[in-house]
Structures are given as structure tokens and as C-alpha cells.
Chains A and B, each alone.
Chain A
Amino acid sequence: MTNMNTEQWSPKIVAFFCNWCTYTASDLAGVSRLRYAPSTRVIRVMCSGRIDPEFIMEAFAKGADGVLIGGCHPGDCHYSEGNYKCLRRYDLLQRYIEQMGIDTRRLRLEWISAAEGKKLQEVVNEMTNTLKEIGPSKIKHVVETIEK
């Protein structure tokens, strides 16, 4: 937490969590009172397979410093394979955003099971620190300039 105080700016991460694993893990982190960086803003979806690449691009375009996707571990998806579909889209998106000049570390995919409140804490803290190193995203301004 110490570096949080020294560094004033806190990144904003739009987090898409699947209902069955990562959202539950996030509840568990809460119930267990695990402290983590206040950077995430969670949007609950039923499955990571629901996450449309458009959502991610929209988040970046509107000023998110990072996008975190949380789903069930491979083989554990509540709907059997939505997470694999998500993984494929994620791989493509990583290449796509790189070409657009977006640091690929701004988009992260993690498998976090319902029991892994601790992992959720670690992932959020880690990603927050990384984003602090990279600094605020400028994509929003670029998009706005182009639109103008």
C-alpha cells in the first residue's frame, strides 16, 4: 500500500468478471477482507465468453487505463467452453491493440476460480502497479482528436 500513497495517480481498470468464478472470487476477497488497490470497476457477465471485443475497445476509447478479464480456469467454465472462446478473442485482441499502439499490458486475462480470492487480490495489485509504471492511457485523447 505504501507506493499507493507516494504515487498520487491511480489507474482505472474496467474489469469484466464471469459470474461463476471470478465474480465469486471477488466476493470472497471481500468476505475475507483482503485489501487491494481500488483501481478496478467490475462489470459482471455470465461468462467470459460473453465479452465482446467491442466492450474492450469501448473501455479503452472512453478512457480506461486497463481492462482486466476474469474467467474460470480452463475446463471449469460453467458453460463448458466460453472461456476458450474468450481466450481466442483475447489473443487476437492483444495483437490488434499492439498494432494500434496500445501497450499490451493494458489488457490482461486471468483465470480466477471461485476459491481464489487471494489470486484476485494479487492480480489486481500487480496490474495496478504495472499500469502505474506505464502511466495514464492516452487512447481516449487520440480517439477524441480523430473524431474531431
Chain B
Amino acid sequence: MSNQKEEIRIGYYVCHCGHNIAGVIDVKSVAEYCAKLPNVVVAREYKYMCSDPGQELIQKDIKELNLNRVVVASCSPLLHESTFRGATSKAGLNQFYMQMVNIRENASWVHESKEEATEKAKDLSRAAIHRVAFNKALEKKKVPVNPTALVVGGGIAGIAAAMSLANAGKKVYLVEKDPTIGGYMAKFDKTFPTLDCAACILTPKMSSVLKHPNITLLSYSEVSEVEGYVGNYKIKVTRKPRYVKEELCVGCYDCITACTFKEGKFPDEFNFGLSKRKPVYIPFPQATPLVAVIDEKTCIHFKTGKCPQTCAKACERNAIDFTQKPEVVELNVGVVILTTGFQPFDAKKASNYGYGKYPNVFTSLEVERLVNASGPTEGHVVLRDGVTHPKSIGIIHCVGSRDEKTNKWCSRVCCMYSLKLAHLLKEHSGAEIYNFYIDMRTPGKGYEEFYDKLLNEGVQFIRGRVAEVNDWATTPEEKGKLLIRAEDTMIGMVRRIPVDMVVLAVGLEPGKDAQEIRKMFNISCSNEGFFLERHPKLAPVDTFTEGVFIAGACQGPKDIPDSVAQAGAAAAQALALIDTGHVELEPNTAFITEERCCGCQVCVAMCPYTAISFDPVKKASSINEALCKGCGTCVAACGSNAITQNLFTDVEIMSEIDGILIN
């Protein structure tokens, strides 16, 4: 305890944070109280401690008053700890001699009673003042950053992020779980509000990904294991067998033509089941990579072993290989960008709208394919029977959004894509179009103007939630029609509108595998299950795990421009990390004092990273610092008090406890 020898001189600073803290906590009395505590040389209050003058105040005091400890009572350390550590070290004091007290998130923002909040601020400040006397000078460990990036998810966000990094000269691995990249955007016909052809703007990007010398595309692959830490991740990726050798296949379709199934027989995923495919298929003509894939669930060879294998025979390049097995590749990367996207709301869950019950109730995604010239009907809008042209179409907004029973959030894109579909459906079919909306949400460049345009195109707008879709005709004209029963809040009446086709504007939900991915990469999700950003305003693409960034709809519902912008932001953050060349790790690792270790090895079993090993000669255990991640579990388990966790030593925490309780 060398600490006890030196005279402790503490400077205490309490921040007003404008009214955020000072509006509830009597900062003046807190400062006065702390000024009288042992070792406190100076106690000040200031409007904004994080501002330059605030920081300079600390630095000046350190120099003039010879302070050797600093306590700042302000916001959460997760927000400004680095700011005040920086200020401390600039004045020549070790940054770990600074201790923060959270009196904003943990007090002024959550308590009403001024007296009690002030009392709490005093207790917490006293705890920090007690503790800081025991803080030790530490150094952050610098570790190099592997300049390679991993992007998980090959939708538009993943493509954009990968391209930015690759164009900046960084090596990128792009992992996509489907046989092709492109994500949902590849399935859209046009994009709002400009009505650009989605494929025309996306497919060139997809092929640039494939051609880019810096990008390695691992399609039909999934991340299966993640190890390591910022700058040095070890990632295992499982490549699912395509049963077609990627290097040999040229996408000529010969195998598909030759398949024993003369016609497509199985629902085509790319067209949401609106068309049929064979067991061997290419998702769509611009698939990237343009490589066939054999679906083992439907291929006769895999089901019965009794297939003549006409596909294999037809392939001149001998690319078909039924013996392929899942293959695990190991990647070493420094940074990770997750762009794993969303899943559409399952329309069957909104059972009052009859999806799955009435064939002519469609989801918006199915309609995207219907109006698409390269879709299953070559752009002809027809009913489920494949021939009848609808004369009237009802589009129901907010299906699986803004709904207490399903998802509470607004999916942000449905109003706009419903308007787009209304326009396209009218253009393709000339049908009468009704939009049933709760509120029209069109915030975005050119979006409100697009809505205006639609208002003048003769599309009908009915404001109100749809109660039900059924086929209970009461008049001969209603026969064979779908009846939409909805409130019309504009005229204060319930309306019944017969239509031939219903389109459900389904919302966006967290991806199916979001939880699994979250666990693998050690990040958090917000309540709805989208990935949680480090800070909603100031760190929207960072996560709580350093070196892991998020972009696109995996973070929350968003449209294409926002996804691309966020991908760029994530790529920039990743680049900053890579180009710095190193990261500084928190020195919160643990070490064992050999003389105290009794050799019981309890700690060895505690460590999830196998960082602790026992030396039978010395009869003591030791911790490999490079492997230790600093959880402190071994410290709490050690019966001999032989283990110390830097930054969270026993005396530091004990003095914090005592500081809270003793006054």
C-alpha cells in the first residue's frame, strides 16, 4: 500500500450540466459538503465540466494546488470518462487517478425529490472521494489492429460498407447467408421517391463487390464462432455446401435445364413463393455470385439417392459435386460491421386481415415481385389464379407496426413504399386503388412531394385503421370480392369497401437470427430486438463492444438512403480504428501475487478464457494478461486474496462501499 505514504490531495468538481443536474440537485451544497471531506483540497461547481473551460479548471488546479487525485461528479462514465481522463493526463497526472461520479443518469434524471437527490449525490461523491485515494496509476495497453474487416450481411448496407472499406484499400470479408448478395433491395421493383429501378442501381454494385480485389465474398455462409477482441477477432465462418463448385460454375443454367424435374416444383424464395423453382437453381439472373445451388431438402439425390443426376451430366465443367460438406474457414479481422438486416412481419399473425386464408390477400413484398418486369408475372398485376386482373386494390398500412398486439414501433418505410406500390399498381393495372392509413408519415427528402403527387394521381386515401378483411358478401356486386371494413376518421364513419385484391404493408422486425448474432458478437439489443447502438445520438453505429459496428435495418427499421448513409458511417468508424493502427485497452486485467497464492486452483476453473494456469513447480497460479479480459470473476473466487483486478481492486471497491455508508 504505497498509496498510504503519499499525501492525498483531491480536487472535487461537480457539474451543473445546465439544468440537467443543477435543476434537481443542489450542487452548491454538494460542493460545500465535499470540501470538508478528508483529503479534499478544493471542491468546485461549474456549469459544464465537460466544456473546455471546465476541463481547464481541473488542469489548472492540478498544477497550482498540486492535486494528485480528481473526482468529477457529472454524467455517466460511459459518456464522459474518457473526456475527464484526458483532461487529467494532459495536466501531467495519471488518467486513472480520476474517478467519476454519475449524478445525472443515476440521480438528477430519475428522482423528483430535490433533497433526496442531493443526499444521494453527496453519498455517491463521498464514495468516490474515499475510493480515489486508493486508485492506482495504470497504463493502457496498446495492441495492434488487424487492418482487415468483416462485414456480415450482404444487403445494401453490407454492400455499401464493404465497398467503402475496400475502396479505402482495406481487405474485407463479406459474409452472406443466402446464395446471393443483394438482400431485400434486389427484390424491389422501384425505389421511392425517385422511382429508380432498384435492380439498375443495385446490380452494378453487386458485381463491383465480386470484382473488387479487396473484397472476398463468402456467400451461402454464416458466422459460427467469434473469439478475440477489438483489433484482433478470430472468426469462424461456416460455408454451407452448394453442391456446386463455385470456382467452376459459370452460371450457364445447363444443370437447371437438365434437372429431372422438368418444371419448377418448389416455392421460389426469391419470389416469395409466387413462382416455382427446381431443386437446382440460381436465385435470379443477376445473382452474385452467379453460381447454381442445389437445395438438399428438395433434391431427389439427397432425398432418395435414386436420381439419375442429369444435372451433373449436363455440366460441361464438372462443377456439380454431391459430396460437398459444410466447410469452416477461419478469418482474422480487426473490425466487424454487422449489417444483418430485418425480417418482414409475418402477415399471418394479423389474422383479421385474412392473409393465408383468402388467396387474394398479398403482402407488399409479393406485390414488389408482381409489379417487377423480371418477376414471376413479368410485371403483370394478376390475382393468385395467375390470370385475373384486379379492378380494385386496397392497400392496408401499418400491418405489424404501431400496433399494441403485434409490434408497437413505426416501421418507417411502409407509408412510402405503400405510396410507391399504389403508383406502380395503378400504372401497371389501371385499377382503382385505396390506401388505408393511420397517419401518413413522409419525412425524408422528396417524400412529402411524392405523397402530393399521389394525391393528384387519383389514388384514394382513407384515414383509419382497418378492422377486418373478409369475403362475406351481402349484395350480388360484392360476391367474389374481398371486403375491407375500416373506420374513416375523416368522415367519422365505418366503411365497407369491396376490392379484388388486398395488399398488406407489412412492417419490419428484427431478423430471425438477430439474437444468435447478438450473442456471438457480444452486443446488446434494444427491447424490440434490434441491435442496440452505443449512444442513440452520438454513437449510432457503435456498439458496446469495441470494434463491432452496426448499420442498416439490423439497428432499426430504415429505408435505403438511411441504410447506405449508416453503412458509410460504420465504415468510417472502422477505418478510423484500422488507420490508427492500434487500440488502447482498458487496463482492468487481473494478476496473481505469487507469494499469496495457496495453489488451490479454484481460479483456474473460474476463467472463461483459460487465461489462468497453474505452475506445479512454483505451486502457484498465474494469469496470462493477453488472454485476460478483465471480468474479475477469479478475484471474487480467490480465498487467499491473492488476485487483484486493476481498476477494480478490493480496497477500491471496499472503500467505495464504506464511503457510501459512513458519514
Q: A: which residues have CB within 8 A of B?
A: 1, 4, 10, 12, 14, 19-21, 23-24, 26-27, 29-31, 33-36, 38, 40-47, 49-55, 58-59, 62-64, 75-82, 85, 89, 113-116, 121
Contact = CB atoms under 8 A, between A and B. Distances in A.
Contact of B660 (A14, A34, A79): A14
Contacts, number: 152
A29 B526 contact: no
Nearest to B126: A41
B110 A30 contact: yes
15 contacts: A14-B657, A30-B105, A38-B116, A43-B127, A46-B630, A47-B633, A49-B632, A49-B633, A50-B636, A52-B636, A75-B519, A82-B632, A85-B633, A114-B532, A116-B527
Contacts of A43: 127, 653, 656-657, 660
Q: Which residue, A47, A89, A114, has most C-beta atoms of chain B within 10 A?
A: A47
A76 B519 contact: yes
A38 B103 CA distance: 11
A115 B524 CA distance: 8
Contacts of A1: 112
Contact of A62 (B525, B631, B662): B662
B109 A50 contact: no
Contacts of A82: 608, 631-633
A26 B661 contact: no
Contact of A10 (B104, B109, B116, B124): B116
B636 A24 contact: no
Given A14-B660, A27-B78, A89-B636, A41 B650 contact: no
A27 B632 contact: no
A56 to B, nearest CB: 9
Given A24-B524, A45-B653, A49-B633, A31 B109 contact: yes
Contact of A64 (B107, B629, B661): B661
Q: Which residue, A38, A78, A121, has most C-beta atoms of chain B within 10 A?
A: A38
A12 B657 CA distance: 12
Question: Which range holds the interface residue count of chain B?
Answer: 35 or more
Contacts of A53: 636
Nearest to A25: B524
A68 to B, nearest CB: 13
Contact of A50 (B79, B120, B545, B633): B633
Q: Which residue, A45, A51, A63, A116, has most C-beta atoms of chain B within 10 A?
A: A45
Given A12-B661, A20-B524, 19 more contacts: A27-B78, A27-B79, A30-B106, A33-B110, A35-B111, A41-B124, A43-B653, A45-B632, A49-B631, A50-B635, A54-B650, A58-B658, A59-B657, A59-B661, A62-B658, A62-B661, A75-B519, A76-B519, A113-B524
Given A24-B544, A38-B117, A41-B123, A62 B110 contact: no
B636 A85 contact: yes
A41 B116 contact: no
Contacts of B124: 41-42
B544 A20 contact: yes
Nearest to B588: A46
B631 A78 contact: yes
A114 B544 CA distance: 10
Contact of B525 (A26, A115, A121): A115
A34 B105 CA distance: 10
B539 to A, nearest CB: 13
Contacts of A80: 608
